[in-house]
């Protein structure tokens, strides 16, 4: 076998070609890592947003969109009194009537940005225990509270809004009371206000849903039975995890498009890399013939050429990993119902390494085989 140092030294015979190979592989690996990180981030935030203990009571026929749902105002009180197994804290049953509303939020500078509003009462903190105040206070009448990632979904700078800032909804001036966190969920991208305020601003008399938190997830059957028995309320019961699971399936085509886009760009970079290796190996036919003449087999020479290509591509994977961690890790990405944080974790890193290894093996084989194909007498004359 040829020593590994032979393959390593040959990388620097043409620095321009080395840069092309490393740069092309770095681009492909970076795209794959970004695609993996975005898909994992979107799936992670949707799966974490649902609690197995929570049940959502929606209007019949609106199982796939809480924003289109309409639930009678009295449904929350009836559910609290009728469903056994509801969690209680200091005698308060964990039942929250909520309104979802999409509209524009007026900023202090007059700009209008689209936002997702949620009208809540203090009972919302019982059914969403992952929510905690970062700054300020829970909203009262005439106030709103923002999730800590709302600035990203609103498309504004992080420091645009502060506690005490004045915003507007449908021309009504509201005061920003505080910021809240709900790590890893879509709640962090929402704007919360009081249920009574949003009922007036949205001009609706009904709720969007009633969220019930159970002590035991197995008690879902009781909530489902309640929804089926109370035909007058026209309700359907869904586990919160099932609701967000449906949303995850809804965004599956978007995640697929991310993979297709990354694949198309990666294919272009791969073919460009193969052309570069064809040019690099074509000038070494006589060198390979000479090595065969002194006793090295074609299999040995093929392995050495593959080592060169793989080493260059793995170097590109290392560069791509450094760029991904430096520029992308911790960035927030908005999508239609919220925002998520990009994490360059073990899954993305492993995908990058395997992609670099695959590029090195696949990219080197066709040009290497062509380089070693000529018979020995022909190779020595080239």
Residue 40, token pair as written in the block: 């994992």
- How far apart are alpha carbons 28 and 271 in whole angstroms? 11
Residue 305 exposure: Cα atoms within 13 Å on the Cβ side: 28
What is the 8-class DSSP label of residue 83?
A: -
In degrees and rounded to multiples of 5, residue 100 shows phi and psi of -100, 140
Asked if 145 contacts 110 with a C-beta cutoff of 8 angstroms, the reply is: no
Ordered DSSP codes for 332-347: EEEETTEEEE----HH
Digits of tens for pLDDT over the chain (382 positions)?
777 777 677 777 777 777 877 888 888 888 888 888 888 888 888 777 788 899 999 998 887 788 888 999 899 999 998 999 899 888 889 999 999 998 899 998 888 988 889 999 999 999 999 999 999 999 999 999 999 988 888 888 888 899 999 999 988 999 999 999 988 888 888 999 999 999 998 888 899 999 999 999 888 999 999 999 988 889 999 998 888 888 777 777 877 888 888 778 777 777 776 777 776 676 677 777 777 788 778 778 778 888 888 888 888 889 999 998 888 887 777 766 667 778 888 888 898 888 888 888 877 777 777 777 777 676 666 6
Give SS3 for 371.
helix
Its pTM stands at 0.74
Give SS3 for 331.
coil
C-alpha pair distances (Å), 333 with each of 7, 8, 34: 41, 40, 12
What is the 8-class DSSP label of residue 216?
A: S
Residue 316, token pair as written in the block: 């590109």
In degrees and rounded to multiples of 5, residue 238 shows phi and psi of -130, 140
Residue 273, token pair as written in the block: 């890399």
Residue 117, token pair as written in the block: 């509003």
What is the 8-class DSSP label of residue 77?
A: H
- How many CB atoms sit inside 10 A of residue 270's CB? 19
Give SS3 for 114.
strand
Residue 69, token pair as written in the block: 């749902």
Computed over its alpha carbons, how large is the radius of gyration of the chain? 29
Helix residue ranges, H only, 155-251: 195-201, 220-229, 240-250
């Amino acid at each position: 076998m040829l020593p590994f140092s032979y393959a390593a030294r040959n990388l620097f015979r043409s620095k321009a070609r080395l840069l092309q190979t490393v740069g092309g592989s770095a681009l492909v690996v970076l795209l794959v890592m970004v695609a993996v990180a975005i898909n994992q981030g979107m799936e992670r935030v949707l799966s974490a947003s649902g609690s197995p203990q929570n049940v959502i009571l929606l209007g019949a026929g609106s199982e796939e969109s809480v924003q289109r749902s309409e639930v009678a105002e009295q449904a929350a009180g009836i559910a609290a009194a009728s469903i056994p197994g509801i969690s209680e804290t200091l005698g308060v049953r964990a039942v929250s009537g909520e309104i979802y509303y999409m509209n524009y939020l007026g900023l202090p500078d007059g700009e209008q940005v689209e936002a997702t509003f949620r009208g809540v009462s203090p009972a919302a903190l019982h059914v969403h225990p992952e929510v905690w105040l970062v700054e300020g206070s829970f909203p009262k009448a005439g106030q709103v509270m923002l999730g800590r990632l709302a600035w990203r979904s609103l498309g504004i700078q992080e420091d645009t809004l502060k506690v005490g800032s004045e915003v507007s909804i449908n021309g009504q001036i509201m005061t920003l009371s505080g910021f809240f966190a709900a790590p890893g969920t879509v709640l962090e991208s929402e704007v919360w206000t009081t249920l009574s305020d949003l009922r007036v601003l949205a001009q609706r008399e009904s709720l969007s849903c009633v969220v019930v938190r159970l002590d035991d997830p197995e008690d879902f059957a009781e909530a489902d039975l309640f929804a089926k028995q109370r035909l007058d309320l026209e309700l359907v019961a869904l586990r919160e995890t099932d609701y967000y699971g449906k949303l995850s399936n809804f965004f599956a085509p978007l995640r697929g498009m991310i993979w297709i886009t990354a694949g198309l760009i990666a294919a272009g970079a791969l073919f460009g890399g193969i052309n570069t290796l064809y040019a690099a190996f074509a000038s070494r036919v006589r060198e390979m013939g000479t090595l065969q003449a002194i006793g090295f087999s074609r299999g040995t020479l093929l392995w050495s050429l593959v080592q060169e290509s793989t080493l260059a591509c793995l170097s590109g994977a290392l560069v791509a990993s450094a760029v991904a961690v430096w520029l992308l890790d911790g960035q927030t990405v908005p999508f239609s119902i919220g925002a998520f944080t990009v994490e360059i974790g073990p899954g993305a890193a492993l995908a990058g390494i395997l992609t670099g290894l695959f590029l090195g093996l696949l990219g080197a084989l066709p040009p290497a085989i062509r380089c070693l194909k000529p018979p020995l007498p022909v190779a020595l004359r080239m």
